[in-house]
Amino acid sequence: MSFFTSANLDIAREIVSRYPAPRSALIPLLHLAQEQHGWVTGDAMRQIADLCGVTPAEVKGTGSFYEMFKFHPVGSYLINVCTNISCMLLGGEELLDHARQRLGVKTGGTTDDGMFTLEDVECIAACTEAPCLQVNYRYRLRVTNDDFDEMIDDIQAGRVDDLPRHGTLARVRQRIPADRLAGILPPDKAREAPVWLQRNNAAEDSVVG
Amino acid sequence: MATNGYVAHAPGYVDNEGPKIVSERFSHPDSFTLARFEATGGYEGLRAALAKRPADVHDEVRSATVLGRGGAGFPAGVKWGFLPPGRFPYYLVVNGDESEPGTYKDRLLMERDPHQLIEGCLIACYALGLSQCFLYVRGEMALAQERIATALNEAYDAGYVGRNILDTDFSVDVVLTWGAGAYIVGEETALIESLEGNRGMPRLKPPYFPAAIGLYGQPTIVNNVETLANLGWLMVNGAEQYKGYGSEASPGTRLFAVSGHVRRPGVYEVEHGVTTFRELIYGENFCQGIREGRELKMFIPGGGSAPWFFEEHLDLALEAGPVGAAGSMLGSGAVVVMDDTTDAVKATLRVVRFFARESCGKCTPCREGTTWEERILQRILDGEGRHSDIDMLLDIGDNISPGPYPVAANPQEGLDAVPFPPKQTTICPLGPSSVAPIVSTIRRFRHEYEAKITRRDSIPVRTEVLQ
Amino acid sequence: MTDTRPADTAADPSTVRVVVNGREIQARPGELLIDACERNGAYIPRFCHHPRMNPVGMCRMCLVEVDSGRGSSLQPSCMVPVSDNMVVETESEVTKKAQDGVLEFLLINHPLDCPVCDKGGECPLQDQTMAYGPGESRFIEEKRHFEKPIPISDTVYLDRERCILCDRCTRFADEVAGDVLIHFMDRGSSTQVNTFPDEPFASYFSGNTVQICPVGALTAKPYRFKARPWDLEETISTAWTDSVGSRITVQSSRDQVLRVLGVDADPVNWGWLSDKERFAFEALNSESRLVAPMVRSDGRLETVGWGVAFERAVAALNGVDPDRVAVIGGARLNNEAQYAWAKLAKGVIGTDHVDAQLGDGLPAEVVLGLPRATIDEACRGGGTIILCGPDPKEDLGALYLRLRHAVVQDGATLIELTPQRTGLSNIATHSLHPRPGEVGELAAALVAAAAKPDPTDDPADSADALQQHGKSSADALREQSDPADAGQASSPVPEGSGYTRREQSGSGYARQLQRAARDISGPVTVVLGRSSLSESADATIDAAVALSALDDASFLSALRRGNVHGALDAGLAPGLLPGRTTLERGAHRFADAWPGVPRNVGHDTAGILRAAKAGEIDTLILLGADPLNDFPDAELAREGMAGAGTVIAVDLLPNDTVMAEADVILAAAGPTESSGTFTNLEGRVSVCGQIVTAAGISRPDWMIAAEIAIRLGSDLGFDSPAAIRAELSTVSEIHAPLTEEALDDSQVDGVLLNGNGDIAPPEPAGATSPVNDRYSLRLLTTRRMYDDGTALRHSPASSGHASSLELRLNPVDFDKIGVQEGTVVRVESAKGRLDMPVQVDIGVPVGSAAVPWRTLGADCRPLIDASAVVTDVRVERL
Ligand SMILES: Cc1cc2nc3c(=O)[nH]c(=O)nc-3n(C[C@H](O)[C@H](O)[C@H](O)COP(=O)(O)O)c2cc1C
Ligand code: SF4
Ligand code: FES
């Protein structure tokens, strides 16, 4: 019933090992599942539940709280148009309208060819560059209708590099070399004061003495 | 730096030729690399800190009065002091969830100078004996995650992070964690829930600070990205020099993102507490005024949660005290400027809808009230409003955030400053935040609401079903 | 930190002064404001607050104005602990406005379907709205819609439109039951409670969520649309399906029981019930109830009048040598009936071949002769619970919830000495899994280690922890069952036996034992029972004897059958007389009250069956017993029943033994049809009341005994349950506190009967762990909450829970067979062989083969050798 590929299962185990409690890996593992499959399947949630020591209902309960996790197939390119206040002031809603027309979908819809899913999103922290959007969480700024069309044309024509399929977020992963790891323990096994805090006393002694 | 138009480097930063603490390196195209960081005094702050006793590092931060940049503006040194002695382990959680409407500065810091942030984390961990650090970065910021992951990998390899940092007895792991799309997770206790693998629902207060009970029930310091980004500079240059900038109550500098209808929107590093809104919006080195031929109608002084300001507030300094006394807050350093073309009801709806969508759903007044407000506003905009809707909006608001709002219903009294911060029937301030724009605009532009409400006074109407 | 306040100015530390609506009240330190106000007559409305769960402050209905010295603000009173000089306004305008606001918010999306809602009439939301709500709705928008009720399990329906998201059911599933199968999904105003797709809320405790739901969002199938609250009559009673003695309210309408609810008895079940306790009443309403006596003629059972039935029964008893009469069963009966039957059997007939336990229990001296603990004592924070018995989650549901709370919330230490993982293993401090037959040795080793802590015990904790880290729970478990690993739980190596060997080998197991011993702290409670039905009781007895040497140790019985503890107290065991005394020591007390007492100690059930097989039993009385299905040695049961003379069965429902073997059936009234009392595993006696009339012409068990006695020429001397209790308290010192007054005064908590009476502690049984040669795996036979019990067969709501016959093996042993999961394999013992599918189960230790005790239509007993200490089996591919 393994959902994760064996390479990803290794990554998953490593992610679990970075947290004092396995459950903390739940959200990172949902991202990993989405990276592997484009969206989060039932099998993925069952395996994540096992890896994190929780029930599948807890995985779904946590996962469905967060917008970025999709529990149904979505397009290879997820286009998020910001319509929050700063973008709205400078044409975000009009841009979204245009996007709907160009792609022929409603907000939240996916094109028939499975290529694009269109969403309107809340502020994506590029407010000074309004109106803006993200494609698979990569920014396009101060977007005009023409820019939008050109962007779609480029993607459709395969003229994109550097834009991973939906699901892949960061292409660089943190890795911690074993010999550099300070050591991660469950809280109940880490009750000792960190050694370097002893310097407080040592220095005091030397000041006094 | 862009490929096919996908931006590879957070733009928007404008050098206003003022003092720089956190944006010093921004002008270098390779500012995010370890090489550039080291070449520009990077990790000197860490070395300086390691040369001191941890308690002295804490004292330095305390005496510099580094105010939190996440929204509440609480002094970091004081907050650090709330850690209960001896209840190890302690954790550091870095709040990089930046999602407040209009706010855009932590992403810049993470994309353009990740090592500066890592250095700040290390200094905090050293000062307080925090044994592990979690860097929680907003999910939608793919590039920031890549930059931080790369920087952490470099820093681990170079011996700045991990076991025996710089060959001392100081060892700490810094772990990068991605969020997944939920504004409320910026609230520190919700962030902790999220880090524990749960739905990001805020915890009940008290305890008021996670310093008492936080991650895994252990004492935890939560600090904003910008707050920590100050620490390297502070260690090298000292509290005295830090206090040389800004005002006495608000020393140092602060990043402000100014967006909306200004000529030159951008992120500016501004002297804290002395610069005024007028300078920021109209100054030559700053935004250079309202866009062509237009007048200022209103502005949001501190992110989507803040009550709105008007012309008469322009001369207030960018400082928590005066802004609070005038009924709003500096919040997350986000100023959204609206000119006279702006539809007050529509702008209000847009901010209210944000809170309705982002409510975590825990508290009844927020879960039900914010969507109700949104639907009434939408109805008014759709021409289906009733005259009673205006006061009803205020009354619903009063049930989420009781206090001054019935006053605002009376146009004569409505112009008085609204006491701030508001009371709340909810756990966290998200629900009450939805009330702020409603009250702000009804007080000021009630006639605009009325103009939209036409004939349909007592006719029951149905609007589209949610979802 | 030292308290710097002068001692004499400090207020009485046991109370806190709070001013509520201008009136000063005394609150308990740490008490929540909402509770303090309620106790003092200022009820604050609430939905999410539940006194047995952690506060969440979710609904905000309980907002009140609170001033703790820094100005007044609105605070949820369910979250705020009282503090000295707090000033609270529960009626002020600000408070009212906030509460009205919350109520309005709750109602805007709530459907107005009260007339068709099961909760109508007992709905807090409806009540609040009537009491405080606004006259009409200001909400003119369309309400939120969800698909109408969805079944989330076989028993429970969920209507999400009615749900007000109070987090009670979800908190219960997580915090109380530990079965996190329902959860909040989605966010904000779309938040809903739901299960994971295709994984129903299959919790043994699901019914509690229906009871605590403050609206009609959760409903239980057996009650849906059956009645309205105002039609119901109710009486307080005690759940009869297991020995916890959970307190319940039984509700009926038109002389039919329709619903059972848990009652919050502080020392017992806290309002919670297992679904078995909650829905077992369905069996009493079933079509197949025995509603009239029957006699067998020409091999066929025929319904007859009571006169005929009694005649047949008495004919089989009159003038028969008492030594050739035997009684099996009695745990089904209430205390009064048990005493009546004990007096009839031992006093009038004169036989001591009487046993209420069917080879699955423990001797009376183990249950009654050791220091006894209450549930509260077992659950003390800071104490240690040693579980040496069955999985409480399967056998004693409500006790499981209490134990779980003690460990998770109150910090009790739990050490398991169970043959496999239990429902508590994931929260246990240490899980040591002895192989069948070896728990006595393990307990002795633990006691020895506790007496002499090993100074060389290395601080390997953190190394282990590091190692364990980053493994999935399944991985971790898999490794824990690997003998080489030193994880949290350990299990024996497959080859070799005896703990000394393992200790010498320095394996992780020995270290684990050391650590467990080191973690024993505070008062120790041993939860003691039979963990596997394919091993003899001897190992458990040895474990009990060994553990009784621990400082401050007491015992909580985990025998499972309904009123088995009442049966022991009534003397329904060989060698025993009522009131925790023996034939030897207590006979003199019965000189006046009873016609006589047996001279010799009689047989237990196994002995009775053996005697019957040998033709030595002329008359066998079954008091609610089904030996053919319920005695571990199926062959002996069959032969014994075949050899018995006349069989008289006193029962409610047809079971296989009764239908096949009984010559006379005396139809008994059910637990809701007769009045009396029940004794739980602590020795707590509580009322088990009558609420409906007896089915058909069935009669209460005690009356049946009294009638037989009269026909045998001996008047038992009582004409009501109360009269029986009166007699009992004169012949038994133990029962002296059980006065009518005491029962009345403690309607909810019941009366605890303390003390061991005359029963001496047990002697070691000296079980020796045999070496297994020819057969490689040890058979483990454990019960499930829902097996093929008679009651389950007649309870529609619960039948979906029944498990099926399958073999479960540790992956290590599974891999050796080389088949796929689900493949049918052959399991063979010296006694017999069975074919069944095999499944991997990491909870089963290496070297053991686990099969469930009886399942629907299948039976593992042909494998069990009841005369052996353990049964070994071999597993082969077909
Ligand atoms: C609804 C809500 C959203 C918030 N979002 C953020 C955020 O995105 N980033 C942030 O740093 N702080 C945010 N905060 C503030 C944090 O709770 C917390 O005060 C802050 O991270 C503390 O760091 P500081 O002391 O360094 O400012 C938010 C608070 C609330 C109530
Ligand atoms: S106010 Fe809203 S966002 Fe905050 S805890 Fe309550 S429901 Fe959640
Ligand atoms: S009862 Fe207090 S918030 Fe629900």
DSSP secondary structure letters along C99-146: HHHHHHHHHHTS---GGG-TTTTS-HHHHHHHHH--SS----SPPP--
DSSP letter at C414 equals: E
Q: Is B339 or C485 the better-scoring residue by pLDDT?
A: B339
Minimum distance, in Å, between the CA of residue B251 and any CA atom of chain A: 25
C185/A45 CB distance under 8 A? no
Return the pLDDT at C798. Answer: 67
The closest-lying atom of ligand 1 relative to the alpha carbon of residue B103 is 8
**Do A65 and C186 make contact, defined as CB atoms within 8 angstroms?**
yes
> What pLDDT is stored for residue C148 in this prediction?
84
* pLDDT value at B426 more than 50: yes
Distance CA C355, CA C606 (A): 9
Token readout for A15 is: 């992610």
**Model pLDDT, residue C745:** 94
Q: Is the bond preceding A22 in cis, omega lying within 30 degrees of 0?
A: no
Task: Note whether A151 contacts B5, CB cutoff 8 Å.
Answer: yes
CB of C510 closer than 8 Å to CB of C445: no
* pLDDT at site C432: 95
Identity of the residue in A21, A141, A184 whose CB atom sits nearest the CB atom of B173? A184
**B161-189: pLDDT as tens digits:** 999 999 999 999 999 999 999 999 999 99
Position in ligand 3 atom list of the atom nearest CA C58? 3
Report domain B253-339's class: alpha beta
pLDDT in tens, C444-456: 999 999 998 766 5
Residue B419 has pLDDT above 90, yes or no: no
CATH topology match: A6-63 vs A77-156? no
Domain ranges of chain A: 6-63, 77-156
Mutate to test the interface with A, among B58, B156, B166, B433 (most CBs of A within 10 A): B156
Which has more confidence, B21 or B6?
A: B21
Q: In whole numbers, what is the pLDDT of chain C averaged over residues? A: 90
Tokens of residue C651, six digits? 């029962």
Whether A60 sits inside 8 A of C182 (CB atoms) is: no
Indicate whether C95 pLDDT > 70. yes
- Taking 50 as the threshold, does the pLDDT of residue B461 lie above it? no
Fold of B21-239: Rossmann fold (3.40.50)
pLDDT at residue C74 above 90?
Answer: yes
The CATH number of domain A6-63 is 3.30.230.10: no
Contact partners of B by the rule of 3+ C-beta pairs under 8 A?
Answer: A, C
pLDDT band at C785 (very low <50, low <70, confident <90, very high): confident
Would you tell me which residues 70-109 of chain A have a C-beta closer than 8 angstroms to some C-beta of chain B?
Answer: 80, 83-86, 88-90
Does B207 sit behind a cis peptide bond, omega within 30 degrees of 0 on the bond before it? Answer: yes
Q: Record the tokens describing residue C492, joined without a space.
A: 């024996």
In angstroms, the separation between the Cα of residue B382 and the nearest Cα of chain A is 16
Say how many Å lie between the first and final Cα of chain C, rounded. 71
Q: Is residue C131 very low, low, confident or very high in pLDDT (cuts 50, 70, 90)?
A: confident
| Inter-residue contact C275 to C206 (CB < 8 Å) | yes
Query: In order along chain A (209 residues), what is the average pLDDT of each group of 10 residues?
Result: 93 97 98 98 97 97 98 97 97 97 97 97 96 96 97 94 91 95 94 94 54
pLDDT category at B10 given cuts 50, 70, 90 is confident
Give pTM, 2 decimals: 0.93
Contacts of A177 in chain B (CB under 8 A): 156-157, 162
- What does the pLDDT read at residue B457? 47
Complex ipTM = 0.94
Task: Return the pLDDT at C489.
Answer: 42
Question: B388 C-alpha vs ligand 2 centroid, how far in Å?
Answer: 27
Spatial distance between the Cα atoms of C351 and C317, rounded to a whole number of angstroms: 11
pLDDT value at residue B404: 60
Kind of pairing, strands A138-140 and A133-135?
antiparallel
- Angle between helical axes of B430-452 and B344-358 (0-180°, round to 10): 150
| Atom in ligand 2 nearest the alpha carbon of residue B202 | 5
Residue A187, burial from CB neighbour count under 10 angstroms (0-12, 13-18, 19+): middle
The model's pLDDT over B75-116, given as tens digits with 9 standing for 90+, comes to: 999 999 999 999 999 999 999 999 999 999 999 999 999 999
Task: Give CA–CA dist B36/B57, Å, rounded.
Answer: 26
Residue C182 and residue C188 in contact, taking contact as beta carbons nearer than 8 Å: no
DSSP class per residue in C728-746: HHHH-STTTT--HHHHHHT
Identify the weakest region by mean pLDDT among B347-361, C165-179, C215-229. C215-229
Residue C465 has pLDDT above 60, yes or no: no
Query: B130 has which bridge partners?
Result: B90
Structural domain boundaries in chain B: 21-239, 253-339, 344-454
C846 touches ligand 3 (CB under 6 Å):
no
CATH number of B344-454: 1.20.1440.230
In which band, very low, low, confident or very high, does the pLDDT at B287 lie, cut at 50, 70 and 90?
very high
Strands (E), C156-303: 156-158, 182-185, 192-195, 218-220, 233-238, 247-253, 256-262, 294-297, 300-303
Instruction: Give dist(CA A107, CA A101) in Å, integer.
Output: 10
> Mean pLDDT across the stretch C641-657?
96
For chain B, give the percent of residues with pLDDT over 70: 91
Binning pLDDT at 50, 70 and 90, where does residue C805 land?
confident
Exposed/middle/buried for A58, CB within 10 Å: 0-12, 13-18, 19+?
buried
Which of the four CATH numbers 3.40.30.10, 3.40.50.1100, 3.40.50.300, 3.30.230.10 does domain A77-156 have? 3.40.30.10
All residues at 6 or more sequence positions from C90 whose CB lies less than 8 Å from its CB, including other chains: C20, C21, C37, C42, C44, C64, C77
Using a 6 Å cutoff on CB, does residue B184 contact ligand 2?
yes
> How many residues are listed for chain A in this entry?
209
> How is C793-855 classified by DSSP, letter by letter?
HT-TTTGGG-----EEE-HHHHHHH---TT-EEEEEESS-EEEEEEEE-TTSPTTEEEEES-B
- Say which of C57, C106, C187 has its CB closest to residue B427: C57
pLDDT reported for residue C133: 66
Non-local (6+) Cβ contacts of A178 within 8 A are: none
| pLDDT value of position B293 | 87
Is C725 strand, coil or helix? helix
Q: Which of residues 79-98 of B touch A (CB under 8 A)?
A: 86, 88-89, 98
Domains B21-239 and B253-339 share a fold: no
Between C134 and B347, the more confident residue is B347
Look at B345-359, C568-582, C702-716, C854-868 and tell me which has the smallest mean pLDDT.
Answer: C854-868
Nearest to B89 by CA among B122, B119, B128: B128
